Amino acid sequence: MFGLGKRRTKFGRWLDHEGITQLEIEKKAKLGRATISRLCNDFEYAPKFETVQKVKRAIKALGHNVPPDDYFNM
């Protein structure tokens, strides 16, 4: 559905599977576009604890009550 053939991280694939756009997460988590893009596409990027918490709250606000292990390699 999304992704346009790019290699995606576990988080990027999870968003694609759930039909959530990067823009939705960006707005709900109040994070920058570059941060969300790195979470979705950069396999070397290790987010700060605060970033993970913001994403977790945003995902919950979007109606998905799942543990971070489902979308992050923790």
Average pLDDT, the chain: 92
The domains located in the chain, with CATH, are 10-65 (1.10.260)
What is the residue whose two structure tokens read 């987010």?
Answer: 47
How far is the C-alpha of 2 from the C-alpha of 60, rounded, in Å? 21
The pTM is what?
0.86
Q: How confident is the model at residue 73 (pLDDT cuts 50, 70, 90)?
A: confident
- DSSP-derived secondary structure letter, 70: G
Per the model's pLDDT, the better-predicted residue between 3 and 38 turns out to be 38
**Residue 68: which region, alpha, beta or left (left: phi > 0; alpha: psi -120 to 50)?**
alpha
On the question of pLDDT at 2 being above 90, the answer is no
Per the model's pLDDT, the better-predicted residue between 1 and 31 turns out to be 31
How far is the C-alpha of 3 from the C-alpha of 24, rounded, in Å? 15
Instruction: Quote the tokens at residue 67.
Output: 């543990």
On the question of pLDDT at 3 being above 60, the answer is no
